[in-house]
Amino acid sequence: MMLVKQTTKFIAILVLLMTSVSSFANSGEHDNQHQEEGGNKVDTPDEIKAYIAHHLQDSHDFHLYTNNETGANIGFPLPVIVWTSGGLKVFMSSEFHHDDNGQVIVNKDGVLLTKIHSKIYELESGAEAVVFDDHHHAENAHKVLDFSITKSVFGMLLTGILMLLGFVALAKGYKKSAIPTGFSRVLEPLVIYVRDEIARPNIGEKKYRKFMSFLLTVFFFIWILNLLGLTPLGFNVTGQIAVTACLAIFTVVIYMFSGTKDFWAHTLWMPGVPVVLRPILAVIELIGFVVIKPFSLLIRLFANITAGHFVVMSLIALMITMKQAFGPVTSTGMSLILSLFIMVIEILVAFLQAFIFTMLSSLFIGMAVEEHDHH
Amino acid sequence: MVTEAVFKLNKKTEVKLFISLQMDQLLNDFSPGLFFMQAIILLILIVLMRKFAWKPILDSLQTREDGIKDALDAAQNAKLELENLQADNEKLLQEARFERETMLKDARDIKTKMIEDAKTEAQTQANNIIEQAQVAIEGEKKAAMVELKDHVAKLSLEIAEKIVRKELTSNDKQLELVETMLTEKSLN
């Protein structure tokens, strides 16, 4: 009950925050790319493509709704934290006025910063405006190290808070009674599921406990982020390759550091094969453990979630792209049925990918900590 | 023909260009800053969750599962004990029943024997009494007979006396008798 109350409180605060900042957004200048391209709505295939591509990227502010005609913009800015040639710079993303094309240049103590395609660029000294080459790459600006609280970081923080709220409540509930009540009753079987179906069979009864914190955290982190990505809030955190890469590298570091003597013996000097083959096998095994396994982890999660978002948005866009061919009613109906269908699959995928990531992580850890019987 | 071939070629290069662009974009999309933030957030989250959630949760689950296992074992043991107890009870009951049977049988035997003994005893006693009685009767009879004989002899003497006296009251008669007796004597 406490958790439910807390959650509702949290959501209420979130809603308040959103509505209060919407007034800020209205003041935003209206000089974005859509106007340049001549349309006010996202209604041509190219615009849709650009919109989807833009959604799949991380962004420096949180916007739920943009009206290109009036310039109304519902959302709120997020802090930008960048490491530039002039040191650390911190400011709100509202200073870019929703510009994403290097038009608005922010001057921070002599360091000129601009935002192009959701990336922050620092203008080289002497430059006043961004000069683009044929491929729309900035010629006189370079990327900076960007530690901003972007939409993805915001999503991760939100997920972290949700996880802490939920599971700390579950943990505290045990002090009162051995059987959880309320929402904890939903969480407990999930924890038991991860423990009994993922960690125990793959790592082994003796050693699984040491890795439970990582596996449980990663499982719920990915799952909640995947699910958040399906909400209209439009997070695409697990579709960011940096995020999945980080998760995969955590797994690699964990299984590399917990590898037993047996594991290293089998990896570097495989017993039972001709000596000549052993170095070759060692190279193959090492590449397998250091590169291929984490790569398969990070690409699988990234590609699944990105593809899911892409398909859902494309199917929603069917409403517009098929309007000419089928008329508004048919195209809307088709779009609705298809996107509903794919959405249900995406809910499954959200769980599945969290499950697979955790499963494979525990499998790899299990390989590393396994004690071999010597024949 | 030529235009078609050129078109095909164009299409191919376009696809290649698209793929290379996508790869470029993939690398371009990799943000070291986001990677760094994610690493820090994940690390902090793992540490916090470990301390405040996972450890207590897993410990409680373990405790609860152990408790359930113990309770089940205890129940099983109790059941076994109860069964043993019931078996013992049954055995005791059986024994008691058997004992009762034996006791009853013994009692019956003793009763029969006592009756038998009593009967024999009584018989012997009765026989002895009868025998003694017979002996006494015999003795009495003999004594009575002796007495009777004496009595009869006395009586006979008295009678004889009386008769003699009467017979000899007169001298004639005495003479007659002497006569007769003499006669008889002489005759004989």
Domain spans of chain B? Answer: 42-187
Could you tell me how many CB contacts below 8 A there are between chain A and chain B? 121
Coil/strand/helix, residue A203: helix
Instruction: Walk across the sheet containing A106-108 and list its strands.
Output: A106-108, A111-116, A119-123, A141-143
More confident residue, A2 or B20: B20
- Judge whether A100 and A36 are in contact, CB under 8 Å: no
- The CA angle A226-A231-A329, to the nearest 5 degrees, is 125
Selected for mutation to probe chain A from B18, B20, B30, B38 (highest A CB count within 10 Å) is: B38
SS3 A256: helix
For residue A352, the distance in angstroms to the closest alpha carbon of chain B comes to 20
Q: Which residue of A has its CA nearest to B40?
A: A246
Please name the residue that has the structure tokens 């009853």.
Answer: B104
Q: What was the pLDDT predicted at A26?
A: 37
DSSP track, chain B: -HHHHHHHHHHHHHHHHHHHHHHHHHHHH--HHHHHHHHHHHHHHHHHHIIIIIHHHHHHHHHHHHHHHHHHHHHHHHHHHHHHHHHHHHHHHHHHHHHHHHHHHHHHHHHHHHHHHHHHHHHHHHHHHHHHHHHHHHHHHHHHHHHHHHHHHHHHHHHHHHHHHHHTSSHHHHHHHHHHHHHHHHH-
pLDDT at B142 over 90: yes
Mean pLDDT split into 10-residue runs, chain A, 375 residues: 57 50 37 42 78 82 75 80 85 82 81 84 79 78 86 92 92 86 89 92 88 94 93 86 92 90 82 82 88 91 91 87 84 90 93 94 90 63
Q: Cβ of A163 under 8 Å from any chain B Cβ?
A: yes
A300, exposed or middle or buried, with CB in 10 Å at 0-12, 13-18, 19+? middle
More reliable by pLDDT, B112 or B165: B112
* Predicted pLDDT at A137: 78
Task: Please give the Cα distance from A121 to A135 (Å, whole number).
Answer: 16
Amino acid occupying residue A18: M
Hey, which residues does A138 pair with through a beta bridge?
A132
The answer to whether A156 contacts B60, with C-beta atoms less than 8 Å apart, is no
Q: Where on the phi/psi map is residue A75: left (φ > 0), alpha (ψ -120 to 50), or beta?
A: left
Tokens 């859902």 correspond to A312
Angstroms from A166 CA to nearest CA on chain B: 9
Q: Which regions of chain A does DSSP assign to beta strands (E)?
A: 61-66, 73-77, 79-84, 87-92, 106-108, 111-116, 119-123, 141-143, 145-146
For testing contact with chain A, the best of B18, B37, B48, B65 (most A CBs within 10 A):
B37
State whether B46 and A214 contact (CB < 8 Å): yes
* A106-108 and A87-92 strand pairing: unpaired
**Shortest Cα distance from A168 to chain B (angstroms)?**
5
**Amino acid, single-letter form, for residue B154:** K
Asked if A28 and A98 count as a contact pair (C-beta separation under 8 A), the reply is yes
Selected for mutation to probe chain B from A57, A120, A168 (highest B CB count within 10 Å) is: A168
User: A91-95, B37-41, B134-138, B184-188: which range is least confident on average?
Assistant: B184-188
| CB-CB under 8 Å, A156 with B38 | yes
CA atoms of A348 and A151, how far apart (whole Å) = 24
User: Does any CB of chain B come closer than 8 Å to the CB of residue A221?
Assistant: yes
Query: Which residues in A lie closer than 8 A to residue B55 (C-beta atoms)?
Result: 213
Cβ of A189: how many Cβ atoms within 10 Å? Answer: 11
- pLDDT score of A101: 78
Strands A141-143 and A119-123: antiparallel
* Residues in A touching B24 (Cβ below 8 Å): none
* Residue contact A171–B57, C-beta within 8 A: yes
Nearest to B56 among A174, A218, A245 (CB): A174
Instruction: State yes or no: pLDDT of B88 exceeds 60.
Output: yes
Report the gap between the CA of A101 and the closest CA in chain B (Å): 16
Mean pLDDT along residues B120-132: 94
Judge whether A31 and A103 are in contact, CB under 8 Å. yes
Which pLDDT does position B6 carry in this prediction?
Answer: 54
> Tell me: the pLDDT tens digits for B26-72?
666 788 888 898 899 999 999 999 999 999 999 999 998 999 999 99
pLDDT digits (tens, 9 = 90+) for B145-166: 999 999 999 988 988 888 878 7
CB < 8 Å to A247, chain B: 38, 42
B29/A152 CB distance under 8 A: no
> Which residues from B are below 8 Å from A240, CB to CB?
29, 31, 34
Sign of CA dihedral B128, B134, B137, B139: negative
- Provide the ipTM: 0.80
What is the maximum span of chain B, computed from C-alpha positions, in angstroms?
224
